[in-house]
Structure 1
Amino acid sequence: MTKSLFTVAFYNLENLFDTYDDVLTNDNDFLPDSVKRWTPKRYQNKLRKLGFAISNIGKEETGNPPALIGLAEVENNLVLDDLLNSEHLANKPYDYVHFDSPDERGIDVALIYDTSVFEVEVSEVFPVHIYDDDGSIDYTRDILLVRGILNAEHVHIMVNHWPSRHDGELITEPKRLLAAEKVGEIIQQIKTEDQNAKIIVMGDFNDDPFSNSIKRLMQSNDLYNPMATLLSDDSGTTRHFDEWNLFDQILFSTNFFETTPNRLSFSIAALFDEDFLKQYRGPFKGAPFRTYVGKKYKGGYSDHFPVYIILEEN
C-alpha cells in the first residue's frame, strides 16, 4: 500500500513587498519611483518565480506541492493573495494565515496551507518584547502559532523570523535568545493542555543549528533539529561572501519519530537548492539567485533557499 507523504517547508522570500506606499511602514525602498525601481513588472516576475519554486518543493518525493509552507518577509495580505493567484499556484487549493506585525520594515511571517489536507483550528501571534540599550522598544516580527489538523492528526506549527545579525552576531545574540525563550514559553503552554502535542517550529532564526539560541531551545523543549547535518563549507540556505549559514530550519517534537499506525512520522529533511534557484556564474556561483544585491536588481528568487521535511503516514 502506498504511504501518504506530506511536505512541510519554510522559505524566506527576500522582501516580498507590493508596489504601493504604506505610510505605516518603512517600505520606501520598494516603490516604482524608489532607487530600487520596484516596478509592477519586477513584482510580477518575482511572484511568478516564487510560485514556481514553492510548487516544486518536495514534489520529487511526494508527487505533490507542499502541504504547509511557512514564509518570512511578506508585507501584507495583498502580496499573499497575489502570490497564491500567480501562474504556478493559482490552480492549487492554497489558503494562508497572516497577521500584521509591529516590525519597522513591515515584513511579517505567514503560513500557506493546502486546504485539501490541512484544516486550521486556531491561529494567534505572540510578540517578542525586546528593548534597546536606551530602553526603547526594538520592534520585531511576532511569532505565528497555527493549530490545525493534518491528515486527521492535530499539529501545532510555529513560524518565526528572529532578529537579524545586522549589528554583529554577538551584539545581537541576546535578542535571539529572548526569541528562543518566547518560543519555549509557547511550547510549555501548549504542553500544559496536551502533554503529547505534536509541534513543528520553523523559521529564519538568523542563527545556525549550533548557535546558543537553537541549542537551548532544543534542549529545554525536547525538540529535534534535522537541519544540523545540512550545513557544510559549501552548503547552506544563505551565503554571506564565502561563508554559508543555515538560518532557515525546521525543528519538531521528538514524538514525530513514533511510528503509530495512521499517525504522521518524520521521514527526511532537505534543502531545496535546485540549480534554477542558484547564481549560475561569477564569484558567487552556487549562492542563492537574489532579487536584489544592495540596490542593484538581479531578477532572481530570494537570498535564501527553502528547507523542508517530509512526513509520512504509518
Structure 2
Amino acid sequence: MQIFRFQFYFIILFSLSLHAQSKKYAIHTVAFYNFENLFDTNDDVNTNDDEWTPTGAQQWTEEKYHQKLKNLSSVISEIGRPENPNAPTIIGGSEIENRGVLEDLIKEPKLANYDYGIIHFDSPDKRGIDVALLYQKKYFKPTSFSNIPLLIYKNKTKIKEEKKEEADDELEDKIETTIDKNRVFTRDQLLITGFLEGEEISIIVNHWPSRSGGEKASSQFREAAGRLNRKIIDSLQQINPNAKVFTMGDLNDGPYNKSVKVALGAKAKKAEVPEFGTFNPFEEMMNKGMGTIAFRDSWDIFDQIIITESLIKPNFSTFMFWKAGIFNRSYLVQTSGQYKGYPLRHSQNEVGFSDHFPVYIYLIKEMK
C-alpha cells in the first residue's frame, strides 16, 4: 500500500498491548453532526421554514447564513484531530434543509480541498429538515443509496380495530384517509453502501422522531425507528453475514433508552455483543457523565455511532473500529449567561454552531 506525500492518507503509531510492540496503521474518521437548522434564506412554500428567512423570527439573513456555513466547515475540518490530521472521510448530518445548503457548505474554503460528495434526499418532515451523507470521493465510492421511510402513526391500534369490523370499499377509503391524517411525518433513514478503499461498508444516517409531547408519550416512535434500523441491518447481514454496518445519527434518545438497548439491541461492552449484534461505544461515555446535548443542566448523548459485531473483531488486516469520541472543543461551548457550558448555538446576538456536539469513531487497518 503506497503513501503519497500530498494526499491525505495518514498513519498512526501506537502500542498494541497484546503484542507489546509498535505497529503502523492507516486511519479514517467516520463522524456524525447535527447541523442544527442549516437553512438557506429562501421561503420554501412546501415546508414550515418561515422562521429561517430575513423577515422571519430568526431574521435569517445572507450574512448570518454564510457565517453559519463558515462555523460548520471549521468544525468538520477538525473532527478527529489530532489522531487523524485529515477531516472525516465520511460524515453524516441532520437538520439540513436541502441539497443546496450542502453544496454551499462543501465549497467553504476549509472544506473545498477535500472534494466531498453528497448523498441527500428530501424527507417528509414538515419543517423540511433532512439527513444526508458527505464523503471524500478519493476514499469512499458509493454503489447504492436509498431513503427508507419510517411509517409511524398516532392512534394506530384504533385504526386496525376499525378495519377489522368492516371490509367494504367505502370503509377502506375512509381508513386510508384516516391513516394519512394520523401519520407522524418524520425523517427517512438514509442507507448507503459503498467501498472504503476497496472494502465494502454500509451506513445508515438517522434523525429519529423528537420528544415532542414528552419523552414517554413519544418513545413508541423512536422504538419503531430502532426496529427499522435493526430490520435494515438484518437485511444487509442476510446478504453478507460479515457486513460492516454503521448506524449513526441524532437518535433523540440516549444509549440507555429502549429504542437503542432493546429495539436496536446495542450493547455497551464488546464482550457482550453476540454474533450479528451491535456495539455502542457511546454508552460507556454516558456512564462517565459525558454528553453531546444539554437540557436543564443535565447532559445526554443523543448523537451516536453504533456498529455491527463485524467491526470489533480483532482482525486489523481489514478496517476495524479503534475508538470513539465526542468533539467538544472549547470554542464550541457557551462561555457566559444562562446556558454557560452548553453547546454554543445560534441566538439573536450570535451565529453559533449547533446545540449538539459532533461524534466520531476511528477505523484503522494495519499497514504492511
TM-score computed with the length of structure 1 as normaliser: 0.96
Name whichever of 47-56 and 186-195 sits farther off. 186-195
Distance 1:89 1:164 in 2: 30
Aligned to 1:194: 240
Residue in structure 1 matched with residue 212 of structure 2 by the alignment: 166
Q: Deviations over 1:30-75 (max 9, x none)?
A: 0011121000000000000000000000021111100100000001
Deviation at 1:196, TM superposition (A): 1.1
Please give the alpha-carbon distance, in whole angstroms, between the structure 2 residues aligned to 1:63 and 1:181: 36
Q: Which residue is 1:300 aligned to? A: 352
Count of aligned residue pairs for this structure pair: 311
Please say if residues 160 and 203 of structure 1, whose CA atoms lie closer than 8 Å, have aligned partners that are also in contact.
yes
Contact 1:233/1:244 (CA < 8 Å) preserved in 2?
no
Residue of structure 2 equivalent to 1:4: 26
1:311 corresponding residue in structure 2: 363
**Counterparts of 2:94 and 2:353 in 1: how far apart (Å)?**
14
Secondary structure at the aligned position of 1:61 is classed as coil
1:223 partnered with 2:245:
no
Structure 2: gaps spanning 5 or more residues: 1-22, 156-177, 267-273
Secondary structure of 1:155's counterpart equals: strand
Q: TM-score, normalised by structure 2?
A: 0.82
Q: Which residue of 2 aligns with 1:206?
A: 252
Which range moved further: 209-218 or 232-241? Answer: 232-241
| Distance in 2 separating the partners of 1:282 and 1:291 | 14
Q: Trace 1:1-314 onto structure 2 (pairs within 5 A).
A: 2-133=24-155, 135=179, 136-216=182-262, 217-218=264-265, 222-231=277-286, 235-292=290-347, 296-314=348-366
1:60-115 deviations in whole A, cap 9, x for unaligned? Answer: 11111001000000010100000001121122221110011111110000000011
> How far, CA to CA, are the matches of 1:199 and 1:239 in structure 2?
28
SS at match of 1:95: strand
Shift of 1:151: 2.2
Kept after mapping to 2: 8 A contact 1:218/1:225: no
3-state SS of paired residue (1:33): coil
Report the Cα distance in structure 1 between the residues aligned to 2:280 and 2:316, rounded to whole angstroms.
24
Do 1:232 and 1:244's aligned partners in 2 also have CA atoms closer than 8 Å? Answer: no
CA distance in 2, matches of 1:191, 1:2: 30
Report the alpha carbon displacement of residue 259 of structure 1 after superposing the two structures with TM. Answer: 3.3
RMSD of equivalent CA atoms? 1.5
2:316–2:364 contact (8 Å) kept in structure 1: no
More displaced 10-residue stretch of structure 1: 220-229 or 106-115? 220-229
Q: Is the 8 A contact 1:237 1:244 kept in 2?
A: yes
Q: 1:256 to 1:234 in 2, by over 3 A?
A: closer
Deviation at 1:233, TM superposition (A): 7.5
Name the larger-Rg structure: 2
Q: Conserved in 2, the CA contact under 8 Å of 1:266 and 1:312?
A: yes
Deviations 1:224-268 (A, max 9, x none): 000011225753001112111100000000111223353011111
Relative to 1, partners in 2 of residues 1:171 and 1:141: Cα closer, same or farther, differing over 3 Å?
A: same
Distance 1:119 1:20 in 2: 32
**Contact 1:49–1:301 (CA under 8 A) maintained in structure 2:** yes
Distance 1:309 1:83 in 2: 22
Which amino acid in the other structure matches residue 80 of structure 1? L
Structure 1: gaps spanning 5 or more residues? none
Letter in 2 for 1:258: K
**Aligned partners of 1:48, 1:131: CA distance in 2, in Å?**
38
Name the SS of the counterpart of 1:19 in structure 2: coil
User: What SS does structure 1 have at the residue aligned with 2:25?
Assistant: coil
Counterpart Cα distance in 1 of 2:116 and 2:352:
24
Letter of the structure 2 residue corresponding to residue 82 of structure 1? D
Seq. identity, %:
41
Distance 2:244 2:327 in 1: 24
User: 1:291, 1:298 → 2: CA distance?
Assistant: 6
